[in-house]
Every structure is written in structure tokens, then in C-alpha cells.
Structure 1
Amino acid sequence: MPHAAEPDPFESLAADAAPLDLGPLARPVRRSLNGEHPGEIGTALPPLVDHHVHLMLVGADALTDTAIAGVVDLGAPLDLVAARRQRDGLPEVDFAGTFLTAPGGYPVGRPWAPDHSVRELGAIAADMRSSLPDAVVTAVNEQQAFGASVIKVALNADVGPVFDRRTLDAIVTAAHERGLPVVAHVEGDGMTRLAIDAGVDVLAHTPFTEHVDDALIARAVAAGQRWISTLFVTSYGAPSPDRDRAIDNLGRFHAAGGRVLYGTDLGNGDQPLGVNPEEVAALAVAGLAASDLLTAITDPWPRRARADGIATFVPGTAPAVLDELPAWLAGACIVPAEDLEEL
């Protein structure tokens, strides 16, 4: 008598409920019979990246055993940058180095930002427009020499002075001439416009203190600017005007074709190590579909290519609805790519 065929677990899943459309980045897979959890079925994704962390606040090894395979550290002392870049292992780290800010500007004097994590640059005199001043060039060169691959500027008009347009232009020019993108912390009226006018490449936070009108968003999108989400830390998940503004701004930026990067500002307040499901949920509230969310959290920026040889594995049944995606993604882990067999 012939044996009945073994049931296909993905056929039974399809019979119960149509899985959420996760887009082309997600692949149904089975783990190798030779490794951990042999034969376990789940979903493979590219490596996950948190595009806004502060290792000086959470510790250089805080994310070692998490599902986050890459991080962008947006503000750290240069000795930490140099030391961490000499080490192998996950997560891979890209650094901005020290915050560049106007004299007395944010985050000077903040208890969480030691003096050696901030560099103050004075304004450029009007008669120096024809050539980049030594102070700006020296500051940018120093960041790169210590291993920074992006440059971070602070534009927080709510708590102190900010760079004028001439000085900001010089920083952006110096960075771009060295192949380094510029990331700006924008906070306060007019700061998003200043960053866009100056050609800043990435906003470290979705603007949360001001409404960004559609015309300005269109300019940001046309220029190829990216916005790092950090929606959770606007009010740590509680309702607030800042949270509402950020979600509205990001939703319209995304709808206009803007490139969104997942980022948590890890080190700012109480957050889980690894994937923050509340950040993922807030991105969904802003209008990102499941495939958009996975694009935002797997984007290799500022690198051109994703890490080789590893993949993200999320065990079990793929989510059936968007509300289930945050908790599902929080269960991810990093595995060798060779351990996964595509189904």
C-alpha cells in the first residue's frame, strides 16, 4: 500500500490564511539539518540595520547577540570609533564620529554627551567664501582619519545656536569632496529647510517639532534625501504632538517617494536591544506597508552592499496582518546564509 505524501507546511499555512505580502526581500526557507534547530521553517530576510544608535551610551558590545547585523552610530568620541573599527564581528558599525555644532550649540553641556563627543566650529567669515576654511576641513578630515564614514551636524535651534548657511555649506562641501554623506539632527522651526537648502543627505530624525509642508517634502525627495525614522523616541510610544507631527511628516515623505531608513536612536531612553517592535509599529502607523518596512530595516546605507554570508531568519509562520509584523520581526536572529534552504 503506498505511503501518503508528507504534508507541506506552507500549503497548510495557505489554507488557513493568506500570509501578509512581505515583498521580494522575504523568502520562505528551511534551516539546515546540520546546524541549530535542524529543519525549522521560517522566513529569510537580508541583514537588519539600525541606522541611528549611540554605542557610547549602550556599550560597544550591547548589540552583539541581537538580530541587528549593522548599525550606524551617529555620535561618539573618536577614540571609541577607532577602537571599535579595529574589531571584527557583528554588528558591522559605521560611525559619524563627533557631533559638529556651532559654539555652545546642541549637544554641548548635555550630561549624556561628554566634551570629547562634540566639536564646536565657529562661523565662517564672509570673505572666506571662495575657499574652505581650515577649521572645517580639519574637522572633517579628522573624523575620516579616525574611521568615520558619515559626518553628523547638529541643527537644534530650540536649545542653542546653530550653523549659519555659509558654515553649513562649507561642511557639506568638505564632506562630499571626501565621499562622506552628511547627517543632520534637525529640531526647531526652520531647521528642516536649512538642512534641505544646504544639501544635507540624511535627517537623523524624522522632523518632529515642526510641520514640513508638501512643497519642502517634494524638494527633499527630489534631492534624494533620506529620513531616519526614530518615531518611538518622540514620546516613547505615548500620544503627543511631537509624535503626531513626526508620523504625519514621515507618512507624507514616504507617500511622495522618499527613502525611509529604520532607526531607533538607541541609547536615548529605555529601549530594547535589537529590533524595537514599537518603532516598527509606528512606521506602520505612518503608512508604510510590510514590504516598505522591510526595505527600511534592511537598507545597507551608508554602505553600498549588504553584509555577505549572513541572513536574518524569522522562525515560524509569517504574519497574516500588518499588526502582527512588529512582534514577528522582534523574534528574528542572524544565521549563516548557507544554513538556509529556500522553499
Structure 2
Amino acid sequence: MREFGYERAYDVAGAVALIGADPDARFLGGGTNLVDLMKAGVERPALLIDVRELPLDGIEFVRGGALRIGATVTNGDLAAHPEVRRHYPALAQAVLAGASGQLRNMATVGGNLLQRTRCGYFTDLGKPCNRRVPGSGCPAIAGEHRNHAILGASEHCVATHPSDMAVALAAFDAVVSYETADGKGELPITELHPPVGDTPHVETALPSGALITGVTLPPSPIAAHSRYRKVRERASYAFAIGSIAAALDVQDEVVRDVRLAFGAVASRPWRARAAERALLGGPVGAEAFAAAADVELAAAEALPENGYKVTLMRNLVVAVLTELAEEAAR
């Protein structure tokens, strides 16, 4: 680890001013990802700006029923909050599936959205990686890629985004709020992480020096009938090899509304809009659910060792939507 400075910020303006004065500074929330990357030498900040004391730790309803979640809310508090569990159960389930209790009690909402890929080549300084060193190459394409992307990847990067929480937020059209020295701004969470293209080192669409201040979930009655399902290679704490956030509204055996987002299949949470369009107004049932999944997964470009994810995601869509449809029929 290189030596670094440490400052604790007590207001948003102060935090933004600190990072604006030092381009090598980083915001520190729970540190559950950043500190690991510092130990590995991937991150080498000159200054850590501790934002845990900022007044951004609330969860409340605002603007006619939208749910506002502050950036420093811990994952543990988010998953346990009664309004989150009642109105957005898939979000609570995603957070619980994302990490151990110890990590949930440290990790923050803002930090979770900004966590970096767990690709082994990215964290190994002895290997090239276009995310870490632009233009150096992507050895995962010809190397170890069993848990890498099948959607939206490119010849420059096939890594996946590791967040479970972000998948559920994407399903429900969450909006990320941020602040810079130039003022406040917002981004739909589906635009927070840009497509990989030929610039995989550009991991977010946030302006330089931006501090995430919160996430807002718009009113969404369908979200109360939602579920998050995560598949991993072991039952204990592990990153997903495939996951889904889903919500379903059925009336008279017809899909009146649906939300689908996939995790662990792309460099960002993958909103399955093609599958949603295929389902809307159609019948419920395993055949229809599988056909909709096939529409979405037609764009998949699997590598030799991760083609199983296509079948896995198809099965997840069918299983989770079937469960939600059966619940709606009771």
C-alpha cells in the first residue's frame, strides 16, 4: 500500500471540495471494496475522504410516494427497513443475498453501486487488463471466463458487474442523485454504468468529482409483488453466476405489467426490456415465459466456458415468473 492521507467530511459541499482539490482522492464509505483494491495495489489513492458522517443515512418517502434512500445507508439497514421489505421485497432480498452480515453492516448504498469488477485479471497486477490499464488487452477472452459476460460485452472487456442490489434497483427504474462542484444532478441507474465498448476503463457516467448522495425509487405498485433470485457456486457468501430481479402483475391470466433485470451477465445490471415487451399483454405460463427469455437472450454472445449462463438465465426467468404468477392466482 502506498501512503495516503485521510480526511473526514461532515457535509456534502466539503466532501466535494476535498475531492475537487485532489484528482487522486477517493471517497470512502464502508471500504469493503476499495480497501481490498488498495491492498492489491489496484487502487492507489493519495487521499481518502471519509463520507460516513454525511447526513445521507435516511430512508423516507418523498415526492408523492417515491422512496428516497441516502447514499450512506448501510446495506444491513436497507435490507431490514420495513418499508423496503413491504414495497420493494426484491430489493431487500437482493441485499441479503449480496454479502455476509458483517459486510452488510459496513457497506453503503453509494459504495455498492460503485464497486468494481471481481475479474481475477483486473485484480492481478501481473496481468494485462483494459479496465486497469487501457489498451493493455483482455486476457479473460482466451483465459478464465466462466463467470464473465454473455450480454453487452466487447473485444475489450468481458467482465461482469458484481452488485446484487443494483440489479433490483434497475428493475424498478431507480434514479441516482449526485453532487459536484457545479451542482446537483441525476442519472437513471440503467445509465449509471455505460456500455463497455472500447472504453471499459470508463466505469460510470458520473461527472468527475461527483459524490453519490442517494437513490430514489419511483412509486411502483408492481414492486410489492417482486422477487430476487441469485444462483452461486456455493451456498455461503459468493458472487452470482446469474441472478434475476422480477415483478409480475397478472389479471385474468394475462400479463398486465412486468419488470425484469438480470445480474452477473453483463458489465452492468441488465434490464431485460425485450423480454418485458414480449410478455406484456400476453398469457402467463412456462411456455410464454421461456419464449420471452429467448427473445432477450438472442443477443447473448457466449465464450467457450460461459455458455451455460444462457440456459441458466432462461431457467431463472421461467422459475421466478412462474412462482410470481402462482402467487397472483391465489
With the shorter chain as reference, the TM-score category is under 0.3
Q: TM-score, normalised by structure 2?
A: 0.24
Q: TM-score, normalised by structure 1?
A: 0.23
In our comparison, the structure showing a higher alpha carbon Rg is 1
